Structure formats: C-alpha cells, structure tokens
Chain A
Amino acid sequence: MKTKNNTHKVNISESEIISFDLYYITSVKKKEIPREELKVEMDRYYGKGMIGDFYKNNSNIFHDK
C-alpha cells in the first residue's frame, strides 16, 4: 500500500510491494544491536524459567484426585 501523504517526511525510496510503515520501521528506524550484546542478553534467559506446560504427560503413573 502506498502512503503518499507520509513519503515527504523521510527521504527514502519506497518499494511498491512493501507498505511505507513496514519499510520505515524495519529499515530506517532499525536499531543495530551488536551480536555480542545480543548473546549476553540471550544467555541471561537461556535455560531459565519453568515452562510447565506441554501438550501431553510423559506417563500417568500417579493420579491424585
């Protein structure tokens, strides 16, 4: 979708197939995060937390009503 009203605000070439907002957010406003920083951030959460749900049980060996 072409958003003609907004094209004058930033000087970028607009793709015919990508909506303006999407292009603006992903390409113009894109914030580069150094990979090393990203890795530290991922390590902080890696293996943490209990994801207590799964679509089935392993076995129904106990049954407390």
Chain B
Amino acid sequence: MINNKDHFLLFTTCVPVKGHESSLIMDLDKGEYLEIPNELYDILVADHFTYDIGGIKGLFNNEFDRGIDQYFQFLVDNHYGFYTSNPSPFQKLPMHFDSPHKIISSVVAINKESKYDVRKVFQQLDKLDCQLLQIRIYDNIEMSRIINALKVLKKSSIRIIELYVPAFLNLSDEVLKNIIVDFSRVSITVYGAQESKKDNLVEGSSRIIRYTDQKLLNNSKEVYSTDLFIVSHEMFLEAVNYNSGLYRKVCIDYKGNIKNYLSHETVYGNIEGDLIAEIIQKEEFKEKYYLKNDLIEKCKDCQFRYMCLSNSEIEKKGENYHKLDTCNYNPYKNAWE
C-alpha cells in the first residue's frame, strides 16, 4: 500500500526524456530504456523533493491518483525508483561533461588517389589522444602502406582501430590474421563480402574478423536503428551538452582534406599543409561540436535524442538547424517510416 506521506524518487541515474508523442526513462547504469507515456513524464518531472506522493497527486487535481499509484509501484518493482520519507539526501545527476581527449574519434579515408602521408596523420592523431580511429580503404591499394603506417600506433593510446577493407582486395586469411596478431588494437571488417559472418581466425582468442555483405562507398550514409542506440552515462552526458557524433571528431578524406566528418562538404585545411592540432582549434571547426540534438529540428522532439549517434552535416535555415542525413523515425507519429 502506497503511503501518500512518502516521496517517490527515480534513481539518480534513471533519467526521464520527453519526446513529442512518447517519452522514456533512460537507465544509465543498466544501459536500458523504458518507454513511458508523456503524461507519466510530466508526473515524474514534478518537484518530488518538495511534494510527497499525496502532494504530487494534488498537483494533477487528483485526476490520476490510481494511475500514479500503479506506475510508481511498477517503477519501484522494476528498480527505476523508490519511496522515501526523507528525499533531502538524494541529489540530482550532475549534467557536466568533459573529456581529457583533445580528439575523441577520427575517420581516415584512403583510396588509390590518396597521396598524403598516412603515418603523419596517425602520429598527429595519437598526439591528440584520439580514442577511436576508423580507417576506410575504398580501392585496391597496397596494404603494406597501411601496415607500415599502423606501426606508429603500436604504443599509442588509441583504444580501438577499426580497419575497413574491401573484399575485392582478396586479402588472404593469413594476411588478415597477421594484422590482428601484430596490431592488438585493430579490428578488421571486410565489406562487400559474399556473406555476413564473423570468423575467429586466431585460436583461443576472442578476436574476430567481421565480414559484411554491405558495400562501403564514398557517399555511404549512416544507419539509424534502435539496436544502435547507446544508453550509457558518458553518451548521455555528452549528448546533453554536445553533438555526440561530431564532438571532438576530426576526419581526413581521401584527398587529405580535414573535415568534421567525411560526408561533409566544408573543408578546413589539408593534411599536406596544415596541422590537425591547429585546425581543431579554429572556432568554425568547433562550431559543430555544440550543435546538440536539443537544438536541431526534429531531433529536439525525439525521445531517443540522447542515445542516438549521428555524424550528419547540419545546416541552418533561418534560425533553425536541420540535419542533412536524417533517420526514418518520426517523433510526431512515434513511428519508424
């Protein structure tokens, strides 16, 4: 039996997020989310520190008393919240986000026309403490060039190096195996393969080589799907404060142009004549860092805005920002189209 004198609080790491038609609670500890109606969102964001459950019911003119009892009990049973007679010791989640990495992620594209020195790019990214590096190889290029360049990252602080190679390069299992054995932070995806599968080439190791039948082209677009949503503390806090795709990201296209992302048109410099460290200090380069989903039309009305990763170019029309590559989710109908 619910005591109206108690207060109901969500756990600090369970954060309600409102969308146009539907809302959700992001459980940052468990990495899950629970879809809830907008009416419940309004009840959950009322001042539960000041008002006890009876007071909250009064705020809604006692119209939803039964529903409030049932939902609160459901949330308590499913570990999203709790009852307390004294809410004062419990605090709200600090919303600050900062990162020690000057560059968090980077994508480097290479094709047969690429003339720039890949080693120098990797060295610069390492100095900037880049954490995620994706190397996209588009054409039939000499793999030894990449392997030699990777050697400069042997003792780097880069966490994950994703190497995307086309199946038409016909790299043997032996070559692929040698790469992942020699470079322990490299994961390989072979795209354009006959079938999608994962191969464990190294016995006794969890390291795998991923094959996908999907193609990768210069103009390939990003995929948006509920399975790609990320519910975590860092992702949430980054998305609340910044553009989680573009924040501290720098990309080098196949011509050596320095951009926010490969598919963007704006070029801020070229790796042949400019230093990445200098380019990323430019205010116009950093402008995209701050265009978070809360500021972008459609995204700002979507309940998934703090878990969705997008590197899309953003354009300003009048006073409003729009993403050029957008997803198929319609927050105004709460439906994927």
Where the two chains meet, the residues of B that have a C-beta atom closer than 8 Å to any C-beta of A are: 105-107, 131-134, 154-156, 159-160, 162, 164, 184-185, 187, 189, 191, 196, 207, 210, 212, 214, 216, 220, 222-225, 227-228, 230, 232-235, 238, 244-245, 261, 309, 311
Interface status of A4 (Cβ within 8 A of chain B)? no
Q: Tell me which of A48, A52, A60, A63 contacts B309 (CB under 8 A).
A: A60
Task: List 28 A-B pairs, Cβ < 8 Å.
Answer: A47-B155, A47-B156, A47-B184, A49-B184, A49-B185, A50-B185, A51-B159, A51-B185, A55-B230, A55-B232, A55-B233, A55-B235, A55-B238, A56-B132, A56-B230, A56-B235, A58-B105, A58-B107, A58-B132, A58-B134, A60-B222, A60-B223, A61-B216, A61-B222, A63-B227, A64-B210, A64-B212, A64-B214
Given contacts A47-B154, A56-B235, contact A62 B212 (CB under 8 A): yes
Smallest beta-carbon distance B156→chain A, Å = 7
Interface status of A35 (Cβ within 8 A of chain B)? no
What is the bound-complex CA distance between A55 and B239, given in angstroms? 12
Would B227 and A65 count as touching, CB distance under 8 A? yes
Which residues of chain A from 20 to 62 have a CB within 8 Å of any chain B CB? 46-52, 54-62
Q: Which chain A residue has the least Cβ–Cβ distance from B210?
A: A64
Smallest beta-carbon distance A31→chain B, Å = 28
Where the two chains meet, the residues of A that have a C-beta atom closer than 8 Å to any C-beta of B are: 46-52, 54-65
Smallest beta-carbon distance B240→chain A, Å = 14
A-side binding surface: helix, strand, loop or mixed? loop
Q: Which chain B residue has the least Cβ–Cβ distance from A51?
A: B159
Q: Which 9 A-B pairs have the closest CB atoms?
A: A55-B234, A63-B223, A47-B155, A58-B132, A58-B134, A58-B105, A55-B232, A60-B223, A60-B228
What is the bound-complex CA distance between A51 and B157, given in angstroms? 11
Would B107 and A62 count as touching, CB distance under 8 A? no
What is the bound-complex CA distance between A60 and B212, given in angstroms? 13
